[in-house]
Amino acid sequence: MILAFNKPMNVLSQFTDEGKWPGLKHHIDVPNVYAAGRLDRDSEGLLILTDNGKAQARITDPRSRTPKTYFALVEGTPEEAALEALRGGVTLKDGVTRPAEVAQVAAPDWIWPRDPPVRVRKTVPDAWLRLTITEGRNRQVRRMCANVGLPVLRLIRWSVGDWTLDGLAPGQWRQL
């Protein structure tokens, strides 16, 4: 069994609660499924869950190069040099990232209001990027964007492989 879940902001990618942060058990009442990969507490979007260990390994193994597409609201105006750096791979503390597919895009028309709202500064512009990576390092998209001078204000994973968030509201799940 494979489930797609639209993980809301401030929900952990595990079934147990931790301190003030709720786990998946508040949204998913399906026994014996586990997250195939993670999304940080402060990230939103598609989380794949499965009861199949081989499927979980295939989805999360960096050697499988499963593409993951994110929409990131970044602080600042992306310059072409920053986008090219992301496309070529950037050097982080844990090594050089694989090249990413990156484009500046309009705000997605499917976006939902975030709770809590994104901090917006009237004197600092922001922009949306669509990024596709084939790794899954800890906080990778945030660290890559920060590395090129574009701190992430909001991060939503849209897809994992061929699976997307299409039609899933925050906190909802469906069987794939």
Instruction: List strand residue ranges (DSSP E) for 67-137, in order.
Output: 68-75, 91-92, 95-96, 101-105, 126-133
Residue 70 has pLDDT above 90, yes or no: yes
Enter the tokens of residue 11.
Answer: 């929900």
Q: Which residue has the higher pLDDT, 60 or 158?
A: 158
- Cβ-count burial 21-46 (b if 16+ within 10 Å, e if not): ebebeebbeeeebebbbebeeebbbb
29 is catalytic: no
The domain ranges of the chain are 2-175
Of the pLDDT bands very low, low, confident and very high (cuts 50, 70, 90), residue 117 is confident
Residue 152 has pLDDT above 90, yes or no: yes
Of the pLDDT bands very low, low, confident and very high (cuts 50, 70, 90), residue 149 is very high
pLDDT given for residue 61 in this prediction? 86
Predicted model pTM:
0.94
Nearest to 34 by CA among 43, 23, 45: 23
Q: What is the pLDDT of residues 29-42, one digit of tens each?
A: 999 999 998 999 99
Query: The CATH number of 2-175 is which of 3.30.70.1560, 3.40.50.2300, 3.30.470.20, 3.20.20.120?
Result: 3.30.70.1560
Q: Which of 40, 51, 61, 126 is catalytic?
A: 40
